[in-house]
Structure 1
C-alpha cells in the first residue's frame, strides 16, 4: 500500500514538472516570436497593431 502511494506521488510530481516545463516552453516560444516580430517588419505587427506606422516610440 505504501509503495503504491509513493508511486502515485512520484507520478504526480513528474506530471507537475512536465506540465510546468511545457507551459514555460510555450511562454518562451511566444516571447521569442514576439521579439522576432518586433525586430522585423512582420505581418503580425501590422495585424495586431494597425497604428504601428505612426511611430509613437
Structure 2
C-alpha cells in the first residue's frame, strides 16, 4: 500500500493499511467464540497453546 499510494494519488485515491492486532473486547469471553474441535493431530498441541494465549488476552 505504501508504494501503491504514489500511483493512485493523482486520481485522489487514498490507501490505508490495516494491521490485525488484539484490542480490548469481549470477543474471547468463554461463551462468545465457537471453538472447533481439534481435528488435525499434528497441530493439536500448537493449537491448544495458541488458544490459551488468546484467551489470556481477553479484556486486555
Report the TM-score when normalising by structure 1. Answer: 0.31
Which has the greater radius of gyration?
A: 1
Higher helix share: 1
Report the TM-score when normalising by structure 2. Answer: 0.30
Highest relative contact order (Cα 8 Å, sep 6+), 1 or 2?
2
